[in-house]
Amino acid sequence: MDAAAPEARHRPPDGRSPFIIGLGVAQLCSWGSLYYSFPQIAQAMSVELGWSKAELYGAATLGLALAGLAAYPAGLAIDRGHGRPVMAGGSALAGLLFLLWSQAGSLMLFYAAVAGLGVVQAATLYEPAFAVVARRAGPLNARPGITALTLWGGFASTVFIPLIQFLIEAVGWRDTLLVLGAVNVLVCASANYLAIDPSRDALPPRVPDDALPRRSPVAQALRQPAFWALALAFTAYSAMFSGFTFHVYPLLVERGFDIASVVGALAIIGPAQVAGRVVVSVFAPRAPVRAVGAVIVAVFPLAFLALEFMPPHFEWVALFAVGYGAVNGIITIVRGLAVPELITRRAYGAVNGVLSLPATFSRALAPAGLAALWTATGSYDAVLFAIIALALVLALGFWTAALVARPAED
């Protein structure tokens, strides 16, 4: 029997299946509460408690660093069929940690809560959800489901940023955290539990014991140049994305854009991300990931270079926001599908967890690093050139991976 037959016969879940809808609802609420809420809550805490930005964002940095450490064990557990307890349990734990955060009156309690939420991110956001989809459908059939999840997640900031602001103004930051905790317990945990049914996962092909590789899939991946090229590319991307996200507002203001233009442009990025993902799913649903990725990584340095020289008018920064948002949305799909196409089709969660480790650390450290660069130079020009350099590293790393990757192993 053909070794790939079980996977080939398995019908991949599409965006309308209860499985993907359940995971998608959980992704929207998890991203909105766990990731996008922090700057608004931190600002309100600073006003009430008088804590500095360094003290507040130090907790976020610690949480992101711990998320990197937790990514591999979370992915390994999902590979072994424990996706339901990992994701549903992670969401339930998030609810308790939001409750703990709401009681924060000391930095120690605040850091404990936010550090715990960082660990929970490794069990609830895109990477574990992608691993669950890959286990349900098989890595070769995971593309429709992964693309659909990114569409759900793409609306998280659009829904939750105004919702959180409304709640802070209506009931205060402490009660807002209680609401976010309830969302994680009642919506995210329930949706993840009901959506993930290990008994319906695609069964891997049976391989004779004497045909099994001597090295684990992770060890085999670490021996491939494509793995390290991808690790370099995605680490640079995470630093670029995180640093730009935290500094885009003051960067644009310093470059002469008025506040209305800046706010309007930032509002475009989220819908542009979703639009980019829709374009790929409609017009290039079967295009090789290496081809899609090779094109879009070239857009990042060009877009940031254009930002350096464009005049401070809304139509220009809006055009930048459309292009940046679209390719930023597409690269999430590329990130989710790169491992099975370029490295290995085995142990998706574990290999992705190891691949995301340096990227998570760079995402945690980049905002503070770029802030230090601004302090040293007194201008966002140096910061923008650093972002351009990271975008070039992303492009060169991905192009290298696409060139040197051999066919992924089953």
DSSP string, 165-194: HHHHHHH-HHHHHHHHHHIIIIIIIHHHHH
> Digits of tens for pLDDT over the chain (410 positions)?
344 444 444 566 766 789 999 999 999 999 999 988 888 888 889 889 998 877 888 888 888 889 888 988 998 999 889 999 999 999 999 999 999 999 999 999 999 999 999 999 999 999 999 999 988 888 778 888 888 898 898 888 888 888 988 899 999 999 999 999 999 999 999 999 999 998 887 655 554 544 445 568 888 888 899 999 999 999 999 999 988 987 888 888 888 988 888 878 887 888 898 899 889 888 877 888 899 999 999 999 999 999 989 999 999 999 999 999 999 989 988 988 888 888 888 888 888 888 888 888 898 888 888 888 888 898 889 999 999 999 999 999 999 999 998 765 55
What is the distance between the alpha carbons of residues 132 and 78, in angstroms, rounded to a whole number?
A: 7
pLDDT of 204: 57
What is the distance between the alpha carbons of residues 268 and 61, in angstroms, rounded to a whole number?
A: 27
What is the distance between the alpha carbons of residues 94 and 117, in angstroms, rounded to a whole number?
A: 6
- CA 132 vs CA 6, 23, 66, 86, 119: distances in Å: 17, 9, 21, 10, 18
14 contact partners, CB below 8 Å, separation of at least 6: 20, 144, 145, 148
What is the distance between the alpha carbons of residues 43 and 31, in angstroms, rounded to a whole number?
A: 19
What is the distance between the alpha carbons of residues 145 and 166, in angstroms, rounded to a whole number?
A: 32
What is the distance between the alpha carbons of residues 183 and 188, in angstroms, rounded to a whole number?
A: 7
CATH numbers and ranges of domains, the chain = 11-200 (1.20.1250.20), 216-404 (1.20.1250.20)
Containing H/E element for 57?
helix 53-79
Return the closest-CA partner of residue 60 out of 76, 74, 79, 40. 40
201-204 contacts, C-beta under 8 A, 24 or more apart: 201/81, 201/135, 201/136, 202/6, 202/7, 202/10, 202/135, 202/136, 202/137, 202/138, 202/141, 203/6, 204/6, 204/7
pLDDT of 382: 92
Return the closest-CA partner of residue 244 out of 303, 191, 203, 297. 303
DSSP for 257-293, please give it. Answer: --HHHHHHHHHHHHHHHHHHHHHHHHH-TTS-HHHHH
What is the distance between the alpha carbons of residues 368 and 202, in angstroms, rounded to a whole number?
A: 43
pLDDT of 161: 82
Q: Are 151 and 274 spatial neighbours (Cβ–Cβ below 8 Å)?
A: yes
Exposure string of 245-256, with b = 16+ CB inside 10 Å and e = fewer, is: bbbbeebbeebe
Residue with tokens 């991203």: 31
What is the distance between the alpha carbons of residues 306 and 241, in angstroms, rounded to a whole number?
A: 17
pTM (2 d.p.):
0.81
What is the distance between the alpha carbons of residues 401 and 339, in angstroms, rounded to a whole number?
A: 11
Q: Are 31 and 125 spatial neighbours (Cβ–Cβ below 8 Å)?
A: yes
